[in-house]
Amino acid sequence: MSVNLVRRGLALAFTALLAIGSAHAEDGVRADVHREAVDATQYPWSAIGKLYNETGGACTAVIISRDKVLTAAHCIFNYRTQRFIPAASLHFLAGYHVGHYAAHARVAAYTIGQGFDALNYDATSSADWAILTLTEMLPAGVEPLKLMPGFSPSGAKAVIAGYPEDRAFAMTADSDCEVRDTIDGGKLFLHTCRGINGYSGAPILVGAADNKIEVAGIQIATFQSDGTQKVLAVPAHTIAQAMRDEERGSPGLIAGEASGLYAINNMAGSDISSVAFG
């Protein structure tokens, strides 16, 4: 069977998962029902993995090239020490499932969104992303996911996949969700996928042209507004633009090297009690 036929079949399966989620939404199924187990060995789920740090925390991350993964910046911040975790203390497990994984990679360095301040989160949440550069290339069989070049339209069907706290060792997907409007001048967007602890850094996946699957953004946090829960994501295209700027040598991004810690400059404590990280 050709690679294109395989990819088409997987894209159709992804579309079917979106349709299931849409049906659940119409039937009014409880929000805790529509998360489904997925096969972490199959694309696109195989492009997602679990990020561990040696302080005991864990998040979700998505592979965007064979030597880079994307996650939320707050996932690599130690709130106890108020410092970023050294890159050498981070471990990425591609396609992790109950002790098995396609690849284990250490992190050589990382880049964080410009201006991100974990202790002033409300003001800097749009920079809550981190690109982790791995110490070596992932195996050729591990296919990355592409970052969407623009905004996904409000109302577009979406899927989030990652490692929620209540099923920390097996990937689940929530297909009963949609992309919603942008906020903060397009620096963030809302969505209706469940922002469960452990999903921080998880990709919001959407169907694209030619049966492709792309990352519309990454899950960062939930918050309460007017008595309702809102779920936040950073758009993928803003991250891609920052990566291009970095390649051109634009200053301002925070870089963390494997050899040490990086402290956020000018930390000013803020009340982020209304924010819950995914």
Q: Are 77 and 104 in contact (CB under 8 A)?
A: no
DSSP secondary structure string, 55-83?
Answer: TS-EEEEEEEETTEEEE-GGGGEETTTTE
Which comes out higher in pLDDT, residue 12 or 48? Answer: 48
DSSP secondary structure string, 148-171?
Answer: PSSPPPTT-EEEEEE--GGGTTB-
Give the residue-averaged pLDDT of 152-160: 94
R_g (Cα) of the chain, nearest Å: 18
* Average pLDDT value over all residues in the chain: 81
Residue 47: per-residue pLDDT? 98
Q: How far apart are CA 80 and CA 82, in angstroms?
A: 6
DSSP 260: S
Provide the whole-model pTM. Answer: 0.82
Which comes out higher in pLDDT, residue 65 or 56? Answer: 65
Residue 27: per-residue pLDDT? 32
Residue 54: per-residue pLDDT? 84
Domains 3-42+146-237 and 48-144+239-262+271-277 agree in fold: yes
* pLDDT over 70 (residue 134): yes
Residue 249: per-residue pLDDT? 66
Question: Could you read off the pLDDT of 41-56 as tens digits, one per residue?
Answer: 999 999 999 999 888 8
Identify any residues that bridge with 223 across adjacent strands, giving them in sequence order.
230, 275
Residue 1: per-residue pLDDT? 39
Domain boundaries, the chain: 3-42+146-237, 48-144+239-262+271-277
Non-local CB neighbours of 214 within 8 Å, separated by 6+ positions = 145, 146, 147, 148, 205, 206, 208, 236
Amino acid identity of 218?
A: I
Give the residue-averaged pLDDT of 242-270: 48
The correct CATH number of 48-144+239-262+271-277 out of 3.30.565.10, 2.40.10.10, 3.40.50.720, 2.40.40.20 is 2.40.10.10
Question: Could you read off the pLDDT of 173-206 as tens digits, one per residue?
Answer: 999 899 999 999 999 999 999 877 779 999 999 9
The correct CATH number of 3-42+146-237 out of 3.30.1060.10, 2.40.10.10, 2.40.37.10, 2.60.40.10 is 2.40.10.10
CA angle 161, 236, 6 (to 5 degrees): 55
Give the residue-averaged pLDDT of 221-244: 87
Q: What percent of the chain has pLDDT over 70?
A: 77
